[in-house]
Amino acid sequence: MCPSGWTRCHKGDEKEPGRGLGRGLGKLRGKERGLEHWMGTGTQKDLGVGTSLAGGLAGWLVALLLLPFLPLVASQCPDSCHCVWESSLVQCADAGLREFPQGIPPDTVTLHLERNYIHSLPEGAFRELTQLRDLYLSHNRIDSLSSGALRHLTPELRLLDLSHNQLRMVSRHDFGYTRAVTRLYHNPWHCDCALQELMRTLHLEPETINGILCESSTRGPGEGSRWEDPGGTSEHSGQPLVKLLDSGVNFCSLHRKTTDVAMLVTMFVWFFMVIVYVVYYVRQNQAETRRHLEYLKSLPSPKKTQTEPDTLSTGF
């Protein structure tokens, strides 16, 4: 058995307690010499501690430098897309997408969605993309914009590419207050007052303005009914909208004339209804008056009493 207070002992120490005690004292003296050696070489130890502190500070510095990129690292890239975290770029071009992808990182700066099969943009597609600067949507099948789909784009947006789609009719309210350079060429546009106002509102890319062609247009005088389907052709078909406007064509004046005619027709209908009501009211009153007179005529006339003649004869 080991002596009381010992934690370790050799097998021979049980038989020779003195020898075990001697060994324990020797170990204690060895530790004292080691401590003296450590105190004597304090300079070397200080250098080791300094090296450890420098390494720790360098680690903290790297962590602080990477802190702005932590949200991007924590985000997940949408399916069928490739994300470049260093430049905040999301590449979803040629991905075979039929709908707007979900889960785009909110810190995205550049978003490529060209050459897909997207038909429409949902209402809140860009609501969370508060840092978006460049948006590429060309070569899709977008034929309509949901009400407010582009209104959530921030004023800091620099480029909006909607070229090579199936857009026909839009209004300036669909684009919100964006000041981005916009591409709208190679779409089957129906040229009307709404598109004319949009041309004057958006910051269109100068090199692509001539590519905004009228596949159809609001019909003017001599072109048949203005109420025909917008898909019908007109004399402006295939011509650049900007050249038509420069030549003096004003689709908004045609719109105002149509509105004036509609208001005139509406006023005439209301006036006609008022006249009909007045005539009906007069005739109805005449009929009531006639019935009242006939009723009065049908009443029995009052008879003279016998006392009146007797009084008169007595007086004479």
pLDDT (tens digit per residue) in 193-240: 999 999 888 999 999 999 999 999 876 544 444 444 444 456 788 899
- What's the pLDDT at 286? 78
Question: Side chain identity at 8, as an amino acid letter?
Answer: R
- What's the pLDDT at 57? 63
Provide the CA 86 distance to its chain's centre, in angstroms.
26
Put simply, whether the predicted model's pTM sits higher than 0.75 gets the answer no
205 three-state secondary structure:
coil
- What's the pLDDT at 71? 46
Nearest to residue 231, comparing CAs of 140, 143, 115? Answer: 143
Q: Could you tell me how many residues make up the chain?
A: 316
47-87 pLDDT per residue, tens: 454 445 455 666 666 555 655 554 444 468 998 899 998 99
Phi/psi for 27 (5° steps) reads: -65, -40
- Per-residue b/e over 193-204, b at no fewer than 16 CB within 10 Å? bbbbbbbeebeb
- Percent of the chain with pLDDT strictly greater than 90: 33
- Percent of the chain with pLDDT strictly greater than 70: 62
Nearest to residue 20, comparing CAs of 34, 8, 30, 32? Answer: 8
State yes or no: pLDDT of 166 exceeds 70.
yes
Residues 224, 202 contacting (CB under 8 angstroms): no
Average model confidence (pLDDT) for the chain?
74
Say how far apart CA 157 and CA 202 lie, in whole Å.
Answer: 13
- What's the pLDDT at 65? 60
State yes or no: pLDDT of 22 exceeds 50.
no
Range with the lowest mean pLDDT among 152-156, 212-216, 288-292, 310-314?
310-314
Mean pLDDT for 26-38 is 47
- What's the pLDDT at 10? 43
Pick the CATH number of 76-219+234-249 from 1.20.1250.20, 3.80.10.10, 3.30.365.10, 3.40.190.10: 3.80.10.10
Q: Which CA distances in Å does 229 have to 145, 215, 224, 238?
A: 20, 13, 11, 17
State yes or no: pLDDT of 192 exceeds 60.
yes
186 sits in the region (left: phi over 0; alpha: psi -120 to 50; else beta) called left
CA atoms within 13 A on the CB side of 2: 9
Say how far apart CA 4 and CA 197 lie, in whole Å.
Answer: 101
> Could you tell me which residue, 301 or 111, shows the higher pLDDT?
111
Place of tokens 């203005």: 226
